[in-house]
Structure 1
Amino acid sequence: MENKKNSKKVTTPRKNKTLFRSVITLLWLGFFAVILGITGTFWAASNGWLGEIPNVRDLENPDIYVSSEIISSDGVLLDRFETERRTPVDYKDLPPHLVDALLAKEDIRFFEHAGVDAKAAMRAVTSAGEAGGGSTITQQLAKQLYTKDPSSNVMMRGFQKIKEWVTSVQLEKLYTKEEIIAMYFNKFDFIYGAKGIESAAKVYFNKTTKDLDVLESATLVSMFQNPVAFNPLKYPEVSKQKRNLVIDQMVKYNKISKGEADQLKNMPLVTDRQYISQQDETYSAYFKTALRKEIETWLVDYEKETGKTYNLDKDGLKIYVTLDSRMQLLAEEAVKKHLKGTQEKFFAEQRGRSLAPFYNVTAQKRQSIFEQSMRRTDLYKKMKEEGKSDEVIRDEFNKPRDSVKFFTWEGIKYMKNQSLMDSIEYHKHILQAGLMSMDPKDGTIKAWVGGINWDYFKFDHVKQARRQVGSTFKPFVYATAINQLGLTPCHTISNDRIPGKWSPRNANGRYGGSQSLRTALAQSTNVVAARLIMQTGEDAVIQMCRDLGVESPITKDPTIALGSADLTVYEMVGALSAFANGGIYIKPQLILRIEDKQGKVIRDYTPTTREVVNEYVAYTMIDLMKGVSDGGTGSWIRTKYGITSEVAGKTGTTNENSDGWYMGLTPNLVTGVWVGAEDRFAHFGGTAMGQGAATALPIWAYYMQSVYAKGNTFGVLASDKFEKPSDIDSRWDCSSLMGFHQYNQTHNNDIIEGTGESINQDAPDNSQEEIIEQ
């Protein structure tokens, strides 16, 4: 019995020893399995086996959308190209207490770890997150940049977390600690359109980042945990509590003293709400439309040449443009000053007319115009997509509403019991305008007014809209004749009616005798312009336009001499500027240079130039057009508006007074103005109010008065003189020809005096409707 007991006692230690060894072995195997599993998981994540992971190029170009800025020639931020409003700040612009608040709340060991901090994760678990976040700042940045949709599935979210760890380590290798902090602040969405810390400072406190105080910094940092739940505007009490927790953390890590913290925590939460819109209330919105098209066209070519791509809305380009914000404002004010009163006259003229605001249309045509506008609206397109019939949509547009928005020069007006069709009819009465002002010496555009209000009328009347130009086209005919035939201002042309199928009339109804070129252009005599184009031929005139930068279609027809072509304000200003620049055409220039977000110049613009006519032809045209201002159809700039400077001008009015134009050339500034309604059928009933001298010229005059009043601010002075070739008088040799402004009553044949060449030809059968010029 005893032997059996002794035998049992001897074998027990051996079994325990074997068991112990087995457990140790299993533990070691488990440990190595965990290590191997972790290593394998990270290896798999690094190689994309757990899903897509950012590559080096992605990491070097993080997805932080930064708007591109449009900066005027005088250094003013005019507008932005953007998908979201974000203004990045550098680390040096972050106040120290803002960085301290972030580190204390989110990652106090940030400057010690390499992207992942196990100790911080454990601390977060034990303190329920109040002693700092479990993820490092770098991990949170990785999540913001590359985890677009955090998964609700535990396993999938675990894989995402591992990928974020891997990404954070890679970020630490590519960027300095300071750069990571700046990126984190710039990327975070603080809601209310506040993308990044700079926008947040503006939205919540109406400050810039560098001006944030300790309390404001702590408030914004507290939002990193949950910007919606801890929103200081909607939940101020909760936000104050979270702010104070951040301050406690700052005390804990010796960022501020306890005494200072106690004072800060007792202070109220003070905000100053500001609103950020995606579209500024900017006076350059029409210019921006043309600018976007030009830049995006260039970016396509740039990518083909260099392989580099830029996104205009996201890559933070700085676009330095030629526009002068001060001159732009003066131009806008000139348009408003004149059109406000002119609009009132137009409403008064149309009041009570059954077909208003149109002339020479049937009731059916009038309704058709309104319905065409209806079909262009977003509401119509949406209802069509929903399968609604035109009848149902028409009923919707004719249904009276509680409130409908109308444009007025005094501001937005909301009307009750009006329909959307009433709104369309009302806005068809509104007169539009286009103005472009350019330095003829270098082609830089100084002002661009594409319309009267971008919110209501999103169509640019400088470069998009083509309208008949009326007699502002005549300088091209005269320039062609002078260049081709060697004419001077003294040469005289018959003013007799032209026999044949096309016999244009003069606006003043006067015929007979002859007129010098200077008098004919000053009085905008249609017969003389017609005789000139008959002599030069339409092809030569069209080619002159092409050489002067006009790209719009021009029909080969003699009526173009009277302005039947549809051109843009942009083309007219660019073309006529060549005469003020000694015959050298310079393509109108919108941009000075483009820089990337690091400040590197990626394009430096140089103007496109070419000589079209020599300096003698150019100055002859200036001399002829000065006659328009000095006693001609543009003489109101002297008699009514008191402008005494040298001005070479030309008025233009089209059929039925649908379009009014004025082109004004001074030695250092060329400005063109167009005025008319959206539809050509809408216009003044008479020439007195509808002519270019009444609709467009006053805008030019108001603008130039303001420019001259600024003295030498813009380098445009009333004392400026056109550069006159020294031997121009001897070249003209007017002593042997008829003097200016004289009619030769004995000269009734069809010969250009001084050349002996006949210009009497029949017009072609396909002549267009005659343009009547005033």
Structure 2
Amino acid sequence: MASTNKNKTSTINKIKKFNSYKKFIRKFLIFFWGIFFAGISSFFLLFLLTIYGFFGEMPNVRDLENPDIFVASEIISADGVVIQKFEKEKRIPVEYQDLPPYLIYALMSKEDERFPYHSGVDKKALFRAVFYGGKRGGGSTITQQLAKLLFTQKDDDEGNFSYKGVSQNKFQRSFQKIKEIIIAVQLEKLYTKDEIITLYLNKFDFLYNANGIATASKVYFNKNVKDLDLLQSATLVAMLENPVVNNPKINPENAKRRRNVVLSLMKDQGYISETEFNSIKNISIELNYKPVKEIGEGYSAYFKHALKKEVNAILSDYENQTGKKYNLYKDGLKIYVTLDSRMQKYAEESIEKHLKNLQKSFFLEQKHRKYAPFYTYPGDPKIDVLYNKLMTDAMKRTGRYKNLKNKGLSDEEILTEFKKPITLQIFTWKGDKDTLLSPWDSIRYHKYIIQSGLMAMEPHSGNIKAWVGGINWKHFQYDHVKQARRQVGSTFKPFVYATAIKNLNYTPCTQVSNATYTKGKWTVSGNGATMPLKSALAYSKNAVTARLIDATGYDAVIKMARDLGVESPIPRNNTIALGSADLTIYEMVGAYSTFANFGNYTKPEMIWRIEDSNNKVIKEYEPQVREVMNEIYSYTMIELMKGVIDQGTGRRIRNMGIDAEIAGKTGTTNKNADGWFIGIAPKLATGIWVGWEDRYAHFESTSIGQGASMALPIWAYFMQKIYADPKLEITQKDKFVRPETMKNNFSCDDLASYGTYDGGYSSDDDGYYNTPHEGDISHKQENINQNLIKRDSINFDK
């Protein structure tokens, strides 16, 4: 009986377990098929949402049929010359029949072995990629990769190739993948297989401005694409995976290894034999590298890059106002600029002519200095400590340092790498030079190079006629016209004089003491004599200027500078009188032009009209003018600065064949770190700065390092060329317009009695000045702003 009950209990338990199992299976199947159908439904829903643009705009039929329409916008000068273009790329389109068979075989073997047979999506490869997480090869076809190039991995707003369109977020990237699959299927309907391969190879960016297979063939092997051999074809195809990591120029060993992977796949697919593979796999990659000239290099490059920011801002405002969006690199805009192509050419030639000789002088002066080209200022650490700090700071700003840091190297390891000699390209005035040099020494070499900036504008219209932001855009991508702020030295003094004339009714003949001036901790050396303002400005007397700002107050001078268009920060202390403020050439030339424009400030402009490809006006400029002072005060300033040229620190111009009516001012900062000259002709105001990337680099000799030697000759060369070109209608006979109501003829005592021409090395013409009591300022703001001159001026034509 007990046995029977036990059996019944066992049977009941088995039935319960079976029923539980059935329930589990039922629930599992319901859950599984629910998840399955939910997944399928979600997948199709994602497809539908993607098609209708819920996850980003989808390309329309026109985009798909015309995937690479980029019409360059033209920059048209005031004299009707197309001086530059905003073009997306330098690309040589190639036809399918020009592609060598090995290149096509290599492409299909590496990227898409079933390319001839699918309709844009290789289902087998796709499921393999999903199942193995991409560890056994990707699932993208050539057509999908083309879709990615055209509509995901697209160019940035500047027209430069960019990977930024490809999301690094896996969730977001999945939506992009879906878009690419949809686009790929559409592309397959619109294009033949041959056309898809051609589009893909024409579109890919192989770096070094090698956009497309034809340009890449020229850049890396100096060949037409049809002449590529098997090894070269495999090398370029390997770059499709990653043009940086597999680049034969920067990573030759890795490029060879990946090239052999391509060759191995070609062997597996039957395109080459085992024997052929074994015979060539150990051959090194032989480059014949011929770089394409960079877009933006050369003629007016700095102007173009400054213009780009201005135009993009205008287009953004236009889009906000109208909803119409324009692309600078795609929509074929016509940008009419104020620049004159002839004046631009003369400006660039003048800078090159002078700096070639000036650079030789600097190399010669620095030849035997251990820590050249750097010097210390009062209060700095010792020169060896300063040298290492400046060099290390410069190293850390380089792309090479950032790349090594991203690889996990310590600063000590990076420094070791930087001191290893490699083949580098350096700037010289004779052209770029390939040399064996460590990156550390390359940084130091380029610190020697003298920089310059120049801007010329019409005082009455505000039209900028020449803009030279630097000496070579490729090597020095920093604009010294509007981007760089440098101490202005004595070129700030006219702002102090203008304030005294306007606010205190001073005249050019007002007598002011030039005795040594002290206020608090600030002392400015002088020689004790009194002199009229015209003489004091002509000879750039510091003590006189210090007394003027003491009389007017520095806030009044700052207000004058603001009224004259200066927007940069200006220290609120008396040292600004001698040029302690860091300002731009753009600001200084605009300010000086006010004196030649009857006291009216006109904002300098580089654009006068922008049109679209259908000649519709997007933007048209009107001069922005405001009155700063009356015409009598402004003409008084012109008379004061004419004294600088006729008798004072700018007299060197008269030794360079220029007899025209000119007003101007020289400027030199502490230790000769910056040299300035701003010259005003009746129809053209031009400002020039010369210096170095680092303020710690400078001439030791003031006779060469002053503004009258470093900057003024460039102005003279520039104006010589302009005067010699009758089409510009600027002549040496042009005169400043004297107000009819002005009676004063400014016939003060003979100016020569107030200055020296013996080199100017008297105590009132140089000196180091302590900071004033108004607040502490660094050595960066201490200045020697005298411009010392000699009768036996240097002949810069030699």
**TM-score of Structure 1 vs Structure 2, range by shorter chain:** 0.5 to 0.7
Q: Is the 8 A contact 1:516 1:743 kept in 2?
A: no
Equivalent of 1:454 in 473, 479, 500 = 473
Q: Tell me, what secondary structure is at the counterpart of 1:633? A: coil
Cα deviation, residue 493, structure 1:
1.0
Between the aligned partners of 1:86 and 1:591, the Cα distance in structure 2 is 29
Residue number in structure 1 paired with 2:331: 315
Mark the CA change 1:595 to 1:277 in structure 2 (over 3 Å): closer, same or farther: farther
| CA offsets 1:666-705 (integer angstroms, 9 cap, x no match) | 0011111111111111101121111000100011111111
| Residues 469 and 653, structure 1, Cα contact 8 Å, conserved in 2 | yes
Deviation at 1:597, TM superposition (A): 2.3
Q: Label 1:651 to 1:193 Cα distance change in 2 as closer, same or farther (>3 A).
A: same
TM-superposed CA distance for 1:598, in Å, is 2.5
Taking the TM superposition and a 5 Å limit, the aligned residue runs for 1:426-445 are 426-445=445-464
1:29-60 deviation per Cα after TM superposition (whole angstroms, max 9, x unaligned):
xxxxxxxxxxxxxxx99985999864589689
Distance 1:772 1:161, change over 3 A: closer
Change (3 A) 1:50 1:454: closer
- Counterpart of 1:469 (choices 488, 491, 496) is 488
For residues 551 and 355 of structure 1, the distance between their equivalents in structure 2, rounded to whole angstroms, comes to 36
Q: Report 1:538-617 matches (<5 A).
A: 538-617=554-633
SS of alignment partner, residue 519 of structure 1: helix
| Counterparts of 1:230 and 1:373, CA distance in 2 | 40
Structure 2 residue corresponding to 1:382, chosen from 371, 386, 403: 403
Matched letter for residue 714 of structure 1: L
Change (3 A) 1:383 1:632: same
Select the residue among 698, 722, 732 that pairs with 1:718. Answer: 732
Partner of 2:424: 404
Residues 1:71 and 2:76 are matched in the alignment: yes
* Separation in structure 2 between the aligned mates of residue 502 and residue 627 of structure 1, nearest angstrom: 32
Question: In structure 1, how many angstroms separate the alpha carbons of the residues matched to 2:386 and 2:291?
Answer: 45
**Within 5 A, what are the aligned runs for 1:308-707?**
308-360=324-376, 362-401=383-422, 403-416=423-436, 418-506=437-525, 511-639=527-655, 641-707=656-722
Deviations 1:426-447 (A, max 9, x none): 1111111111111111111111
Q: Report the equivalent of 1:10.
A: none
- The offset of 1:67, in angstroms, is 2.8
Pairwise CA distance, 1:72: 1.8
Please give the alpha-carbon distance, in whole angstroms, between the structure 1 residues aligned to 2:701 and 2:403: 41
1:609 positional shift:
1.1
Unaligned runs of 5+ in 2: 1-47, 98-145, 154-165, 167-177, 231-289, 377-381, 756-770, 788-798
| 1:726-772, Cα deviation, whole Å (9 max, x unpaired) | 121x2x3768xx54538799xxxxxxxxxxxxxxxx96443653544
The 1:631/1:742 distance shift into structure 2, 3 A limit, reads closer
The 1:187–1:575 alpha-carbon spacing in structure 2 relative to 1, beyond 3 Å, is farther
For the residues of structure 1 that align with 2:66 and 2:560, how far apart are their CA atoms? 49
Distance in 2, Cα, partners of 1:528 & 1:447: 34
Residue identity matched to 2:775: N
Q: Which amino acid aligns with 2:732?
A: A
TM-score after normalising by structure 2: 0.65
| Distance in 2 of aligned mates of 1:143 and 1:334 | 48
Could you say which residue in structure 2 is the equivalent of 1:133?
none
Structure-2 change in CA distance of 1:607 and 1:58 (3 Å) = farther
Counterpart check, 1:766 vs 2:771: no
| Residue deviations 1:199-221 (CA, integer Å, cap 9, x gap) | 99x989x9xxxxxxxxxxxxxxx
**Cα distance change on mapping 1:87 and 1:477 into 2, 3 Å:** farther
Conserved in 1, the CA contact under 8 Å of 2:64 and 2:187? Answer: no
CA distance in 1, matches of 2:618, 2:506: 47
Q: Is the 1:674–1:696 Cα contact (8 Å) retained in structure 2? A: yes
What is the deviation of 1:661? Answer: 0.3
Task: Indicate if the aligned counterparts of 2:573 and 2:774 stay in contact, CA closer than 8 A.
Answer: no
- Please say if residues 45 and 162 of structure 1, whose CA atoms lie closer than 8 Å, have aligned partners that are also in contact: no
- 2:65–2:190 contact (8 Å) kept in structure 1: no
3-state SS of 2:307 partner: helix
CA contact (8 A) 1:67 1:80 kept: yes
Distance 2:572 2:523 in 1: 17
Cross-structure match for 2:27:
none
The count of residues paired between Structure 1 and Structure 2 equals 579
Closer, same or farther in 2 for the Cα pair 1:457/1:145, shift >3 Å?
closer
Pick closer, same or farther for the CA change 1:391–1:722 going to 2, 3 Å.
Answer: same
Q: Which amino acid aligns with 2:707?
A: G
User: Which has the higher mean CA deviation after the structures are superposed, 288-297 or 511-520?
Assistant: 288-297
Read off the aligned partner of 1:484 and give its amino acid letter. Answer: N
Q: Following the alignment from structure 2 to structure 1, what is the Cα–Cα distance between the partners of residues 617 and 337?
A: 14
Moved more, 487-496 or 71-80: 71-80
CA 1:574–1:158 in 2, change beyond 3 Å: closer, same or farther? closer
Return 72-81 or 516-525, whichever deviates more.
Answer: 72-81
With structure 1 as the length reference, what TM-score do the two structures score?
0.67
Contact conserved, 1:78 with 1:282, CA < 8 A, in 2? no
How many angstroms does 1:406 deviate by?
2.1
**CA contact 2:86–2:328 (8 Å) conserved in 1:** yes
Give 1:223's aligned residue: none
The one-letter code matched in structure 1 to 2:501 is I
Is the aligned partner of 1:302 residue 2:318? Answer: yes
CA offset at residue 279 of structure 1?
Answer: 1.0
The one-character-per-residue Cα deviations of 1:567-609 (angstroms, maximum 9, x if unpaired) are: 0111101110111111111111111211222332211122211
Residue 389 of structure 2 aligns with an amino acid whose one-letter code is S
Q: Distance between the aligned counterparts of 1:567 and 1:304, measured in 2?
A: 32
Q: What is the 5 A alignment of 1:173-184?
A: none
**1:741 matched to which residue of 2?**
751
Q: Residue 209 of structure 1 corresponds to which residue in structure 2?
A: none
* Alpha-carbon distance in structure 1 between the residues aligned to 2:542 and 2:611: 50
Mark the structure with the bigger radius of gyration: 1
Aligned partner of residue 75 in structure 2, secondary structure:
strand
Say whether the 8 Å CA contact 2:639–2:663 is kept in structure 1: yes
Alpha-carbon distance between aligned partners in 1 of 2:584 and 2:462, rounded to the nearest angstrom: 16
Checking the alignment, whether the CA contact within 8 Å between 1:662 and 1:672 is kept in structure 2 is: yes
Q: Aligned partner of 1:71: which letter?
A: I
Work out whether residues 505 and 772 of structure 1, in 8 Å CA contact, stay in contact via their aligned partners in 2: no
Partner Cα distance (2:564, 2:53) in 1:
62
1:345-399 per-position Cα deviation (integer Å, ceiling 9, x unaligned): 1111111112211112520111110111111111101111111111111000011
SS at match of 1:371: helix
Distance 1:595 1:87, change over 3 A: farther
SS across alignment from 1:428: helix
Q: Which runs of 5+ in 1 are unaligned?
A: 1-43, 89-97, 102-140, 150-154, 169-183, 207-228, 237-273, 746-761
| In structure 1, distance between residues paired with 2:179 and 2:478 | 49
The residue type paired with residue 472 of structure 2 is N
- How far residue 61 of structure 1 moved from its aligned partner, in angstroms, is 9.7
CA contact under 8 A between 1:142 and 1:167: conserved in structure 2?
no
Cα distance change on mapping 1:770 and 1:235 into 2, 3 Å = closer
CA gap 1:533/1:647 in 2 versus in 1, 3 angstroms: same
Determine the C-alpha separation between the residues in 1 that align with 2:151 and 2:403.
Answer: 35
Mapped partners of 1:604, 1:540: distance in 2: 35
Structure 1 residues 50, 664: CA separation in 2 closer, same or farther (over 3 Å shift)? Answer: closer
Match of 1:283 in 2: 299
Deviation at 1:276, TM superposition (A): 5.7
- CA positional deviation for 1:419: 1.1
